[in-house]
Structure 1
């Protein structure tokens, strides 16, 4: 996997209350990923970017919400997130990430 694809697969961490609890309790981190990304691509990207060992990856397709606007009904884009479970003793510190 080349360097360019790594940055296209991982769009960034998904920060929420649930994601923070998952990171603290289960060692799982949540990332926003490209809708075309596979589990294997996500695993390789996280391992290469953060230099950690990934145990498992679970992906979820999130449907965009329908919103009412002044011009009628609009729809937010669909997106994909990945739950990345790390090996025992591994952790990601987003403050030190380059």
Structure 2
């Protein structure tokens, strides 16, 4: 589970729960096949499809130093019918 950072709870992610889709932020270097294996092993579910996109880095300033937030990917994972992730399901 090193590649999965945390589950995302936004308005869109709550709407997607009704379609049996779950949203996670993952390490930027992780591949779809790695994430699929981790999800299937850790939660004991079958993954039907996965969509990913990179979120843009936001600028942050501390005094005169300008930096950026951490880069990561967001994965929307669709499960096979009949499967769910209990701690995240509505």
Question: TM-score normalized by structure 2?
Answer: 0.86
Q: How many residues align?
A: 88
- For the residue of structure 2 that corresponds to 1:44, the secondary structure is helix
Partners of 2:34 and 2:43 in 1: how far apart? 14
The structure in which a higher percent of residues are helix is 1
**Contact 1:62–1:79 (Cα < 8 Å) also in 2:** yes
Structure 1 residue runs of 4 or more that deviate by more than 3 Å after TM superposition: 67-70
Asked if 2 retains the 8 angstrom alpha-carbon contact of 1:9 and 1:42, the reply is yes
The 1-side partners of 2:65 and 2:31 are apart by 35
Cα RMSD after superposing both structures: 1.5
Structure 2, unaligned stretches of length 5 or more? Answer: none
Unaligned ranges ≥5, structure 1: 1-6
| 1:23 and 2:17 matched | yes
Instruction: Write the mapping of 1:19-98 to structure 2, written as runs, cut at 5 A.
Output: 19-24=13-18, 26-94=19-87
Please give the TM-score of this superposition, normalised by the length of structure 1. Answer: 0.80
